[in-house]
Chains A and B, each alone.
Chain A
Amino acid sequence: MAHVEVKLPELGNEVTEAQLDLWHKAVGDAVDEGEEIATITTPKVSMEIEAPASGTVIELRVEEDEIAPVGAVLAVIETS
């Protein structure tokens, strides 16, 4: 059992923040490593955030439509 943070990744040159467009998972949902967990949007593109580990989502720290800085923790997964 470990806690793995899902972070907003580096999005390239000059992109400092992104909007959390859609959560594909809710607290309590099981996720597999590599599974799409959220859709985020920068001014230029929309992209999917993948779960870095398999386990259970125990926390969503950013709400839909909220803007988060690059590196921010979006969610926490408890590995099984």
Chain B
Amino acid sequence: MPKSIPVDPTTTRQPGRLRGVDIPLHAYDVPLASELAARGATALIEAYRHMLILRAFESGIASLKTRGSYGDLTYAYKGPAHLSIGQEAAAVGAAMALHPSDHIYGSHRSHSEFLAKGLAAIGATGDNGLISIMEGHGALLRAVEAHLPGDDLRARAENFLALGFLAEIFMRTTGFNGGMGGSMHAFFPPFGAYPNNAIVGASAGIATGAALWMKREAREAIAVSMVGDGATGCGPVWEAMNFAGQGQFRSLWDAKGGLPVLFFFTNNFYAMGGQTSGETMAWDRLARIGAGLNAEAFHAETVDGTNPLAVAGAVTRQRAHLLAGRGPALLDVECYRSTGHSTTDVNAYRDKAELAAWAELDPLVTFPAALVEAGVLAPEAPGAMKAVVEARMQAVFRAAADPEISPPVDVAGDPTLIGRKMFSHRTTPPEALAPAPLVAPERTRRLRQIGKKSRAGRDEGGATLSPLKAITLRDGLFEAMLHHMLRDPRLMIYGEECRDWGGAFGVTGGLAELFPHDRVFNAPISEAAIVATAIGAAIEGARPVVELMYADFIGRAGDEIFNQMAKWQAMSDGALSLPMVLRCSVGSKYGAQHSQDWTALTAHMPGLKVVYPATPYDAKGLMSEAITLDDPVVFFESQRLYDRVELFEAEVPAEAYRIEFGAPALRRAGSDVTILTIGPSLYPALEAADTLAADGVEAEVIDARTLVPFDYAPVIASLEKTGRLLVVSEACERGSFAMTLAGNLTRFAFGHLKAPPRVLGSPNWIVPGADMEESYFPQVGDILDAVRIDLMGAPDHRRAGVRNWDDQALARAGL
């Protein structure tokens, strides 16, 4: 593949100066008369009415939290309340400029943004569209029809929006997310309101991924990251902004143009109690960060977030930039949260003079006053409108609190109800054909080379073939990915070097010859953004297969994997599916930060399927299954196994096949001891089994293959025969998945056991350098010792391995 962008020293070494572009601050100067002429009186009055709804909604929650009542409703709301009172103009202004097809991704403080987007979408959607959307939530619609019918379809739709949202905040079954999301996670895709997020800044990466897929699909739409000023202190937000601004979208992709994502920072000057400008951030004005991102400064502007029309104008300008391919864009929308971070916040960090100064700028005061002054509203109209809205919201609150109208989630009656929402276990075939590859696959070097290889791992005499002569685990992974890339247009592969380099370990080598940049691309060294964007793209319909070069880098994407990838299917009550595969290669020989098996971290987290194949046949079949499933999968690959050829199946079929997750594989039959292995531990276990057989001890070796899900039945059946269990894994023993397996099997098969099960993992210290690795990862000798001494009861056996230590003494020492 020819290099596309030369690094020419004569250019890079030219003296000169970098100059930034000017960033406008509060540049809005459109007279209200002009806005009135351009937008019409109705739009301006609607903007005020929408702000009233937002204010009443938030005030109602504030009242419940602080007084336990709202109007004539008494209700003890136990959940969070990060309210946006004072910020309504920012939310309504943005929504005025967005289209129903644009998607917002919010924060913990996004009630107003959600409602504003929904209200605007209701205004912009036809009757049939609204009916169809509401019928999608039949139980909620019936509750609205019975108790909050409204005067017309629009009013009914608004009540549907408010009740669906509030019932969700109250975690009721009729909530938009079935009560699984709540205040900080609620969303409703039909109105373009995508997940709010309780993790500060998390939506930046997810919205960027949404924009990535919108660009791929050439949609006439934008994604909006709606997070606060405090989020500019979060690394993943910077990763997201850099990812969004990558030069390749304009230089290397066939459809040239930046990502259509707007980073809309609702800047209320505080991140909880810390003051952003002047105290906790380096920037003085938030918009300044645009200057550090690209030559256009992301078209950054600081906008008056107390005026919905100033915000609407700015969002309209940015949207035009984005749809013209000039993205990304950034807005610093200054507004003021007039109540606390949450209802337990006593405002110790703000003084009364400041609160009073901003109270004068309260959009619920200034905007109706301006409308009255311009003659758009009669002087008594704002008060009358407010009374109507408040009465309506009180009715919504009563309906949301009433268990007859908004039934609570019955976890007592159905104890595994929530558990069943973690995975869909579904597959959704592609609706369209994938675009033809750039060249016929069989003409590429990789395919020619694979084509010459033996599909079997042994020759006719039974000798193991060289990895140059037989299909390897690396080839199996490649073939599975290639198969689906050729057939499924939703697939998108990216990672830090997966294009020309073919992945640091050559797994994706050859794909760059076959697919353009919008299907296979190099990502920046931004693990958080790699995972977050895959989540966003998956939410929007893609099936990303993304790569972390080492499993050790999971930490860099911790929130994205553990809180986002793992949870959105359940938190959405199944409305979202996250068909993504996160490939993590497990290293070796590179010491403490590049050689760790972190399967236990991901298996611990509810909502992730976790796979760790040890053979080429399994790697291919499990990868195909991972890609096909609608659920999120973390796919571990051992670097030590990439060159392994197939030793168990007759051959690795050339055609695609899928291996269902959950079934461990019997690798060697035996009657005296069961050795259950995770990942590469299979091979030393098999060697140990051969040695044991020479002593007359027959070991049964079972390869776990997948950790989540896992079917214990075959292992229990094995223990019925053997009564002895050794679980071997390369993870540190403490807290490992091997411990989980051993613990559960002790319970499930207790009656069959002749000895306490034993876990053999790595010791609870750092992975040492290459020359010392054999002292660390379980070796054949260590397995022999565990079987002979711990399971077969031969304490005077001469040790073959190095683990001659007292586990209890180590534990006392923190090891």
Contacts and interface: CB of A to CB of B under 8 A. Distances in A.
A45 B506 CA distance: 6
Given A19-B468, A67-B468, A41 B506 contact: no
Contacts, number: 39
Nearest to B472: A43
B468 A17 contact: yes
Most buried by B among A18, A45, A65, A67: A45
Nearest to A42: B468
B748 interface: no
B506 A21 contact: no
A18 B449 CA distance: 12
Interface string B633-653: 000000000110000000000
A67 B466 contact: yes
B111 interface: no
A21 B643 CA distance: 18
A27 to B, nearest CB: 23
Contact of A21 (B448, B469, B505): B448
Given A21-B445, A65-B452, A43 B468 contact: yes
Contacts of A22: 448
Chain B interface size, under 10 / 10 to 19 / 20 to 34 / 35 or more: 10 to 19
A79 interface: no
B452 to A, nearest CB: 6
Interface in A20-53: 21-22, 39, 41-46
Most buried by B among A19, A21, A39, A44: A44
Contact of A46 (B446, B469, B474, B505): B446
Nearest to A14: B589
Interface residues of A, number: 14
Interface string B505-516: 110011000000
Most buried by A among B452, B474, B510: B452
- The secondary structure that dominates the B interface is loop
B374 to A, nearest CB: 70
A44 B468 contact: no
B467 interface: yes
B643 A46 contact: no
A43 B641 CA distance: 12
Interface string B497-535: 000001001100110000000000000000000000000
Nearest to A64: B452
A44 B452 contact: no
A46 B445 contact: yes
A45 B502 contact: yes
B644 to A, nearest CB: 10
A44 B448 contact: no
Contacts of B448: 21-22
Given A19-B468, A67-B466, A44 B449 contact: no
B608 to A, nearest CB: 28
A44 B478 CA distance: 11
A18 B643 CA distance: 13
Contact of A43 (B445, B452, B467): B467
Nearest to A44: B506
A21 B468 CA distance: 10
A22 B444 CA distance: 13
Interface string B434-471: 00000000000110110010000000000000111100
Contacts of A43: 467-468, 472, 474, 506, 642-643
B369 to A, nearest CB: 70
Contacts of B506: 43-45
Interface string B347-374: 0000000000000000000000000000
A41 B469 CA distance: 11
Most buried by A among B446, B448, B449, B642: B449
Interface in B630-678: 642-643
Contacts of B469: 19, 67
Contacts of B643: 43
A39 B643 CA distance: 20
Contacts of B446: 46
Nearest to A46: B445
Contacts of B474: 43-44
A46 B468 contact: no
Contacts of B466: 17, 67
A45 to B, nearest CB: 5
Contacts of A39: 445
Contacts of A21: 445, 448-449
A42 B643 CA distance: 10
A58 B502 CA distance: 34
A44 B505 contact: yes
A18 B468 contact: yes
A45 B478 CA distance: 13
B449 A41 contact: yes
A7 B184 CA distance: 63
Contacts of B468: 17-19, 41-43, 67
Contacts of A42: 468
A22 B468 CA distance: 14
Most buried by A among B449, B468, B642: B468
B1 to A, nearest CB: 11
A61 to B, nearest CB: 18
B319 to A, nearest CB: 44
Interface string B465-490: 01111001010000000000000000
B452 A46 contact: no
Contacts of A17: 466, 468
Contacts of B472: 43
A21 B510 CA distance: 15
A45 B446 CA distance: 8
A46 B449 contact: yes
Most buried by A among B445, B502, B509: B445
B509 A44 contact: yes
B799 to A, nearest CB: 30
A44 B642 contact: yes
Contacts of A41: 445, 449, 468
A42 B452 CA distance: 14
Nearest to B468: A19
A43 B472 CA distance: 8
Most buried by B among A42, A46, A67: A46
A70 to B, nearest CB: 13
Given A41-B449, A41-B468, A67-B469, 17 more contacts: A19-B468, A21-B449, A39-B445, A41-B445, A42-B468, A43-B472, A43-B642, A44-B474, A44-B506, A44-B642, A45-B509, A46-B445, A46-B509, A46-B510, A65-B452, A67-B466, A67-B468
26 contacts: A17-B466, A19-B469, A21-B445, A21-B448, A21-B449, A22-B448, A39-B445, A41-B449, A41-B468, A42-B468, A43-B467, A43-B468, A43-B474, A43-B642, A44-B474, A44-B505, A44-B509, A44-B642, A45-B502, A45-B506, A46-B446, A46-B509, A46-B510, A65-B452, A67-B466, A67-B469
Give the 6 A-B residue pairs with the shortest CB-CB distance, closest first.
A44-B506, A43-B467, A19-B468, A46-B445, A43-B643, A41-B449
